[in-house]
Each structure stands twice: as C-alpha cells, then as structure tokens.
Amino acid sequence: MGSMITLGIGRMEIDWGKNNSFRDHSILFKISDVKLIPYYYVDMDSDEPIIEMKEGYARKLSSIKKRLNLLGYDLVSIRKMYEDIVREHQEYGYKIKLSFDVFYDVLRAINVSDIDTVKLAVEFEENGYDFGEYVRRCVLNAPQVKGKLLVEYEDNEDSEYQNPEWELSEFLENLDPYITLRIIADNPANAEQEVFWGFADVVENGWVHKDEVVMGLPPEKRILIVTEGSSDSYVLRKAIDQIYPDISDFFDFVDMKENYPFTGTGNLYNFCVGLCRINIQNNIIAIFDNDTAGLEKYHQSQSLQKPDSFVITKLPDCPEFSSICTLGPQGSSMENINGRAVAIECFLDFGSVQKSPCVRWTSYNKNERQYQGELESKDEYVRAFKQCDLTDGSYDTSKLEFLIEYITSQWTDRKK
C-alpha cells in the first residue's frame, strides 16, 4: 500500500499523498507546530481504527485561516480560482452546474466535529476514505445540491456512460485543498479544530528526510515591510510577534535608519521609485506615514507602475484620531489629525504616559495647503511600548490590532 501522508481537520481528511508523491503543506504551519498528533489506521478486523501518536504538524483552523489569507486564499481569490476551474472543465465537454455560492454555503455549513472520515473508511472503503468519498456520500446529498443538474454534458455518443454525480465528486476532490480548507474555516464552530499534517510515516520509511517537510516559510512567501523610520519597524515587529504570532514568520523588516544611508518621507518615495524601475519581484509593502508629508508622497506613488508583489500604502485613518488636542499658530483646539499628523507613535497606548495626547503643528506644506503635525512626547510613548508586555492585558493594543489588520488587508487586497 505504501506510506501515506495526510492533511486533515480533526478526523476529517482533506488531502493525502503516498510515498514521495504529495503536496508540501509546511507553509500552513510554523516549525514550532511540530508535536505528537494522532495517526489513524484502518483495522479490517475491527470496527474501530488503530490510533497511534506520532510526530506531525498541528495548528488551530482559526490560525490557519490567517495564513491562508496571506498565501492568496482569501475569499475573493478562492472564488476566482473555483470559477476558473469550472471554465477549464467546459473545455473538456461538460459544465459544472454547482455555483461557487452554493458550494461555499454547503462547505461552510460543515461542522467538522460531526465528520469522521476515519470511521467511514473502516465501514466502507478498504483503500482509504478521502474528501471525494465524503463529497459523494454527504455533500451531494445536501438539500441545496440534491436534485439539481450538477453536470451537463455536450451531446456525444459516450454520454450515456457518463455519471454526472461521479464527475462532480471527482471535480471537487481534485480542487485545491486550500479552497476547501479556507471555506470550512469560515464556520465559527470549526475555529478551535486542529489541522493536522501527518508526515511521520513517509519520513520513517525513508521516502523523504525530515528537513524536507519540517522547514520555515520559504523566502518567496515572506513579505518585506519597509517604513520611514526606526521606530516604525520596531513597533510593527514587536506588535506582530506578540499579538499575531501565528503569522509573524511571514514578515521581514528593514530599518530605514540603520540599514540605509537615508531616512524620511522623500527618501522612502525615491526608494519606491527605484524598486519600480527595476520591476522588483520580491514581496514588499512600503508604508508612508499618514501625515501631510507622507500623504503627499503616497499620492505621488500611486502613479508608479509596480508589480503585484509590491504594495505602496500609508498608515490608516483611525476613528480615534478624529478629535485630538492640537497646538499651533491658532492656539489649542480639538482637530482631526488623520492625513495631517498620524505617525506610528499614534497607534501606541495613549494611557501608557501620564499626560493627555497632543499634536503640535510644526510646518506648513504649500502643496497640500495644510500644516504638518507631530505627536508631543512621542519618545515617551515609544519607551513605554518597549517596556510593556502586549499579551497580558496591561497595555491597550486595540489601535495596534487595527493597524496590523489594515496592513494585512492591504496585502490580500492588492490585486483587487
């Protein structure tokens, strides 16, 4: 039979391979996810599978969902993938009549805790039980699907021998498993389910070396974040590492102050221009400040011809910045500082310093016809941030979470 390697959620198998023929799923996990996981083997003399604990990957589905989004399997992208595959099947003479919306609704309704393909394998399938069999027995019998014309063949002499239900299940079985995984992850009931990738058997039997399946995220999947100054990189790195450790391995950072002979908005813009001219293919996100100077260069950068792998953005507008104390030529007032004075320090916990936040208008930008502002005592906010623990609830991370969610969405939405 050979050595099997399987990807599954709980006791529901999603993808499988044999010997040295399998898809590498290590990108769904971090090296630290390797632990003892359950392996299920069919015992033909028993109604129950044999369970052994061996080394493999394990990570909660809610965390896998975040990684899938960064890998290009967000909801908009998987819809396009599905529809592209349907169109490809039309070239072979039959039409899949199952729309993505129906497919999504059926799969999203799956509660993984109710599915046990291991038990079904014992009961029905001597040679294993995979997602294709599950589709035939369960998905195709769902009320939203059953009774519909799922596959339509062009007229030909062999059509009477073709089985639309079988063809559809084959179609679904051969879909990219990450499409299936991503849809099932949208059901909140599945969030705490663990996704397992069991590689032990192919390693133990010599088909692959362990370091071929236990390895870090490959360079082509990593994303370089480039910012205006040293504090920006430090804040983002610490925030992602502590608040979003499940995706922290996706991001690398460049400290513009320490690693380049230039700093500031103008030099970041020139850096972006240079990367566009050489048509850089690395995954990069360049982030301008959301102040007057940053906004000016950000707007200029939107006319640059850049590859899909290069995102130029700015710090986001934040509702909390719509009414902040400001000091300037007109005295003290409460103003909206979005687009005028928002730097990385504004996303830190204002309660970490024993003074109310205040922005001072420092210079007038003739091109933008507005003042440039800067957060007062910003170094104090940074010092407090460096000393804090972002995981114990002692530091307000709400604005940092807002910021990181924005940055990741800029990446996932870059092609839209």
pLDDT per position as a tens digit, 288-316: 999 999 999 999 999 999 999 999 999 99
The tokens describing 14, both together, are 């999603």
Q: What is the pLDDT of residue 287?
A: 95
Same domain, 48 and 187: yes
Cβ atoms of 286 and 313 closer than 8 Å? yes
Domain's final residue, options 152, 183, 212: 212
Same domain, 42 and 165: yes
- Sequence-distant (6+) residues with CB within 8 A of 270 are 262
Same domain, 180 and 266: no
Same domain, 200 and 243: no
Same domain, 204 and 257: no
Q: State the total domains in the chain.
A: 2
Same domain, 246 and 300: yes
Same domain, 190 and 314: no
Residue 123, classified by CB atoms within 10 Å of its CB into exposed (0-12), middle (13-18) or buried (19+), is exposed
> How many CA within 13 A on the CB side of residue 50?
7
Query: What are the pLDDT digits (tens) for 261-284?
Result: 446 788 889 889 998 998 888 999
Distances (CA, A) of 105 to 228, 299, 354, 406: 43, 40, 51, 27
Same domain, 390 and 340: yes
Q: What is the pTM of this model?
A: 0.86
The number of helices, as runs of H, and strands, as runs of E, in the chain is: 14, 17
Domain's final residue, options 212, 234, 265: 212
The tokens describing 13, both together, are 């198998």
pLDDT(43) > 80: no
Question: What sign does the dihedral 182-183-186-189 (CA atoms) show?
Answer: negative
Pairwise CA distance, residues 178 & 6, whole Å: 13
Phi and psi (nearest 5°) for 2? 90, 175
Calculate mean pLDDT across residues 341-357.
Answer: 94
Query: What are the pLDDT digits (tens) for 4-26?
Result: 898 988 888 888 888 888 999 99
Q: What is the pLDDT of residue 23?
A: 92
Same domain, 183 and 284: no
Residue 161: pLDDT band (50, 70, 90) is very low
Q: What is the pLDDT of residue 370?
A: 81
Domain's final residue, options 212, 227, 251: 212
Same domain, 233 and 206: no
Same domain, 8 and 147: yes
Pairwise CA distance, residues 242 & 234, whole Å: 12
Q: Which of 136-150, 246-260, 337-351, 371-385 has the least mean pLDDT?
A: 136-150
CA angle 30, 72, 274 (to 5 degrees): 95
Same domain, 231 and 121: no
| Range with the largest mean pLDDT of 44-48, 163-167, 265-269, 396-400 | 396-400
Full residue range of the structural domain in which residue 226 is found: 219-412
pLDDT(224) > 90: yes
Higher pLDDT, 291 or 132: 291
